[in-house]
Amino acid sequence: MELTFLDWLIILLYIAVAIYIGFRYRNRASRSLSDFFLGGRKLPWFIAGISMVATTFAADTPLAVTEMVSQHGISGNWLWWNMLIGGMLTTFFFADLWRRANVLTELEFIEFRYSGKAAAFLRGFKSVYLGLFLNILIISWVNLALESILQVFFDIPQGYLIWYVAGAMLVASFYSTLAGLLGVAITDAIQFVIAMAGSIILAIIVLSTEQVGGITGLKEQVPSWAFQFFPRIGSGQGEGDIASTLSISLGAFLAYIGVQWWASWYPGAEPGGGGYVAQRMMSTKNEKHATGATLFFQIAHYAIRPWPWILVALATLVLYPGLGEGEERLGYVMAIRDYLPPGLTGLLLVAMLAAYMSTISTQLNWGASFIVNDFYKRFLHKRTRSGKEESHYVMISRLVTILIMLLSLYVTTIVTSITQVWHFVLECGAGLGLVLILRWYWQRVNAWSEITATIVPFIVFAVAKFGYGLHFPESFFITVGITTIAWLMVTWITPRTDPQVLHEFYRRVHPPGLWTIDRPLTKEKNKRIPLLVTSWLSSILFTYSILFMIGKIIFLEWGWSLMWFALALTGFLIFRRNIKKLF
């Protein structure tokens, strides 16, 4: 495919804006590590929230949704929609706590909350595991998705794709290296607008084609099972129109809805907050902005953003019926290539490039924060009295950002698929989530609790899978159960956290829960828990209802849309009343 002058002009303008932002905020990012990695802790809720949403919109996201919808219809999205439960838990139970903790990274929190050599070991291990190893895998996966997009568009030989990816990654690393998180967040806001506008335009144009014939034509040509919003619980394949609807066993349903959101650690959906979500919460002006940013992220991520992708995915069932298993995801890119006029093709390419760069820039900045603040600064660098330490750390941060970029490019050349790695990560984080939640609410949790919950799942998963041939969800339940028993036993037989560390943590954060340090204050804080619980549940009701209401409006099902509107309004009124009392 050949791009026109207008297409190239749009692409070059976007790249120029990204580079300008890097230069625009470079001086502010150079002041300190806090300025480089947290934007000086001055981000308003909407910038931080949009940045969260933009980061989760990678180049592969609409392709993955297309594959889910092609195979299982709209109900296939429950494979990620279920994570809203844990996301809203983070919003109301942890966002304000993260902001009050006033740490630079989530790993710095480890030695703020725990004490002794165990805490130091845990912080150092996680800085390398998360900041380098896992981060490089994530970036490599996103790079592979961009390669697929470029190959469909331009038919570039496989051996040359990595150079095009390197060019896109170089731009992302350039502005993230210069401007730090503030530049990343500002660019994310622009990227989000471009990516969403492009997705909506593509959906409108594809639905308007003669082959599809609008929503009415789509519903006439696509089997009715594809329009089912909910999975079918059961082990059979079903008959007729429900044959291809996402069908999951009762055990898998319970794992997704009842256990996974609180028990399992997974990048981007960490129980209690973590990763780039925690970074954005800690970068906001205050606790209220942290909560607002996280609430906006959950609503936009789960309720608003998916529908343009879903509509294009349904249209590809009509436009490209011959795509085989594993090729369905390419239907999204083929629709861009085949149905957009000059100018709009460039806009959609920019949208995909923006989605790619928003994720890459965040991963580079986030990973560098762990390596510099939690490994280099904590364990390697000998402090001086020169007064230039902050500028030194910022320089090292920029060098580490470039290093992560180069390592990720190398890994991209040798990795073909890491789908199995993601299953591995999900199962090997089973049981850790409860520790990440309770360390804020139960003072008896110590560093050995988290170390145990981090290591035991690897062992149990290996034995369950390779020793007994078990698979998800059976292996998941077993891993969660054994890990939970193990870390609880270790918690009671290992020494308590140093009281002085606990006092400092409690003095700064003031968490509710099982704390004996200041019983009157704890009792007062615990009065908020019923409000937090009802806010959590009502916000889940609101977000899911908005999601389904929009879908029913799109598919012209007015009765159902009114019902979901009534439920959304109920949820909104409840959590709005509670928020006024909480803040």
pLDDT in tens, 358-382: 889 889 999 999 999 999 999 987 6
Average pLDDT value for residue range 403-428:
76
Q: Is the pLDDT of residue 38 over 60?
A: yes
Instruction: Residue 68: name the closest of 329, 247, 253 by CA.
Output: 329
pLDDT one-digit tens code per residue, 159-182: 778 888 888 888 888 888 888 889
CATH fold for the domain made of 5-417: Sodium/glucose cotransporter (1.20.1730)
Tell me the pLDDT band of 550, cut-offs 50, 70 and 90. very high
Range ranked top by mean pLDDT from 1-5, 89-93, 130-134 = 89-93
3-state class (DSSP) for residue 510: coil
Distance CA 548, CA 175 (A): 38
Average pLDDT value for residue range 396-406:
93
Average pLDDT value for residue range 12-21:
88
Cβ contact 433:267 at 8 Å: no
Instruction: Residue 47: name the closest of 86, 20, 21 by CA.
Output: 21
For residue 408, the tally of other CB atoms under 10 A from its CB is 27
Instruction: Residue 45: name the closest of 185, 191, 229 by CA.
Output: 185
For residue 36, the tally of other CB atoms under 10 A from its CB is 31
pLDDT one-digit tens code per residue, 66-99: 988 988 889 888 878 888 998 999 999 999 999 9
Distance CA 104, CA 38 (A): 7
Averaged pLDDT score across all residues of the chain: 86
Distance CA 460, CA 483 (A): 8
Distance CA 98, CA 185 (A): 19
Sorted by where each begins, the domain ranges of the chain are 5-417
Cis-peptide, bond into residue 223, ω within 30° of zero: no
**Residue 529: per-residue pLDDT:** 92
Distance CA 209, CA 219 (A): 14
**Residue 242: per-residue pLDDT:** 40
3-state class (DSSP) for residue 367: helix
3-state secondary structure 454-498: HHHHHHHHHHHHHHCCCCCCHHHHHHHHHHHHHHHHHHHHCCCCC
Cβ contact 41:283 at 8 Å: yes
Tell me the pLDDT band of 420, cut-offs 50, 70 and 90. low
Distance CA 440, CA 514 (A): 9
Tell me the pLDDT band of 128, cut-offs 50, 70 and 90. very high
Average pLDDT value for residue range 1-16:
81
Q: What angle do CA 325, 328, 329 make, to 5 degrees?
A: 130
Q: Is the pLDDT of residue 292 over 90?
A: yes
Cβ contact 247:236 at 8 Å: yes
Distance CA 485, CA 431 (A): 9
Tokens 């059961």 belong to residue:
234
Average pLDDT value for residue range 395-412:
92
Backbone angles phi, psi at 442, to 5 degrees: -135, 115
Average pLDDT value for residue range 3-23:
85
Q: Could you tell me whether strands 232-233 and 247-248 are parallel, antiparallel, or unpaired per DSSP bridges?
A: parallel
In whole angstroms, what separates CA 561 from the centre of its chain? 28
Tell me the pLDDT band of 219, cut-offs 50, 70 and 90. very high
Instruction: Residue 392: name the closest of 104, 17, 110, 32 by CA.
Output: 32
pLDDT one-digit tens code per residue, 477-492: 888 889 999 999 999 9
Tokens 């439960």 belong to residue:
85
The pTM assigned to this predicted structure is 0.89
Q: Is the pLDDT of residue 244 over 70?
A: no
Distance CA 97, CA 120 (A): 22
Q: Is the pLDDT of residue 243 over 50?
A: no
In whole angstroms, what separates CA 137 from the centre of its chain? 15
Cβ contact 10:17 at 8 Å: no
Average pLDDT value for residue range 273-293:
92
Tokens 């790079």 belong to residue:
143
Tell me the pLDDT band of 203, cut-offs 50, 70 and 90. very high
